[in-house]
Structure 1
């Protein structure tokens, strides 16, 4: 098995690099580590990058990077992928801050990078903007969520929850979800989520969005699957961005989530949720449908 342990970065194409960089610096509060006319690298705190932006004719998600467990080399990962019938290429210095990576294209055409090590390049957290803890999770529209869930198990992901049979949640660590997959008629990112520290941080983040005239699409409210308190807005390119806190913590050794007073079951185990009960536990109404 090719075991990964975190979602390290997300790669977007954008026709307006300047506008997206202004958003990530001034609104989200990240550090621009490197940039030229065609590409920019942006960090939440210490990584060389957690967001990668490439100049493109159309906006949208290109792919993402997953970090390998320390005992797995890129060569070993590539060999395992080849044995599993996945065409993969080892690339050197393809991405700044990463000397070596394995690149492949998944079932739905997303470009995935597997890598062993990333340069520590950023100065830490900024003093203005939202300043999230980290990139929390990435949600993808795919042809068949069940098929994608099974596919990503070969990288060490576990299925934690479902919304009915069309939205699957997966983790490769103790976060409730790191990737999730929504069955859709078209390929696109559903949303990218940034983890905040607590509810007061979420409130101050929404005040900051308001000062920057960025409307909230939905929230705050507590979801069912994951139980995270979440809000959603759109970046300048129209990508949906979630800001969340208070998400469930998975204990893989026990197959349960750490108990919380707001859980529906004790112990709380991975389960199948109905759409309405999962989207909001508080009855919050939507400005826009999320599923």
Structure 2
């Protein structure tokens, strides 16, 4: 069997490749590692060959995302394991720099998912200018049914950690409160938001100042969410993808089915549960004009 343990990269198609390259290089503080002959660009946060991939295109949309897994079995065996789970997958080789082979499949909402076991290291380290997040924290997707998506990714070993009523499901494959979450949305498909983890609240306030200097407005936040308890802010990238910057998120202890205790938890212990929308959006009772929909 195999164990998926982290979100490795997210890939975007974009109509405005230069603007998005500038955003990830100058604003987010990622390092441009490599450019392809087709104009694609590979950005690393610190050690991986890439964590963000940008492809020039006639449309702007999320293209695919990749999870790293660990297994004693080879990729061909992973394809067979997925077939037993009624997931039709395909082994592909040399599809992109830094990853020699991926196991690729399409989820129930049409999102293209890649599983990889190894990625070459670029090791540019953390830059000294820009927002400079620790890592990609989580990806949130619009789906037809959050319940169906939570069940599907459960086959890959993801654990359901929280709900906002019945329309928003949180899942994790490691100790982070959520790595992948799903929003039952009337809008057909597309990313809801991509989140980057910051070091602390000081880093978050510095990042908001940096966005302000770059004339990128904050559309929501800062405030502390309920599910996950992360202190979060949101803004749009040049393609109007919603980007979350967050810190202070809950850590999940699977063996105890609860979260590490924090002073701001209102439940003791804090366990996975179903939240009401008003209780979950802001634990500080903060109201904002822009809704996160």
TM-score with structure 1 length normalisation? Answer: 0.98
Q: Equivalent residue for 2:58?
A: 57
String of CA shifts for 1:202-254, please: whole Å, max 9, x gaps: 00000000000000000000000000000000000000000000000000010
1:113/1:48 CA distance change after superposition, 3 Å:
same
SS in 2 for 1:155: coil
User: Number of residues paired by the alignment?
Assistant: 291
SS in 1 for 2:24: helix
CA RMSD of aligned residues (A): 1.0
Which consecutive unaligned segments of at least 5 residues does structure 1 have?
Answer: none
- Aligned counterpart in structure 1 of residue 277 of structure 2, from 271, 275, 291: 275
Give 2:229's aligned residue: 227
SS in 1 for 2:127: coil
Distance 1:165 1:72, change over 3 A: farther
Alignment of 1:3 with 2:3, yes or no, is yes
- CA-to-partner distance for each residue in 1:258-286, whole Å, 9 max, x for gaps? 00000011100000000011000112222
- Determine the structure 1 residue equivalent to 2:211: 209
Return structure 1 stretches of 4+ with deviation > 4 angstroms: none
Which of 242, 265, 268 is matched with 1:266 structurally? Answer: 268
**Structure 2 unaligned spans of 5+:** none
| Equivalent residues of 1:27, 1:130 under 8 A apart | yes
**Contact 1:9–1:52 at 8 Å: present in 2 too?**
yes
Q: How far 1:3 sits from its partner (Å)?
A: 2.3
- Could you state the TM-score of these two structures normalised by the residue count of structure 2? 0.97
Q: Deviations over 1:130-155 (max 9, x none)?
A: 00000000000000000000000111
Q: Do structure 1's residue 20 and structure 2's residue 20 form an aligned pair?
A: yes
Alignment partners' CA distance in 1, 2:218 and 2:123: 29
The alpha carbon displacement at 1:72 in A equals 4.3
* 2:164 alignment partner in structure 1: 163
Deviation track 1:18-60 (CA, whole Å, cap 9, x = no partner) reads 1100000110000011113431111111000000111111111
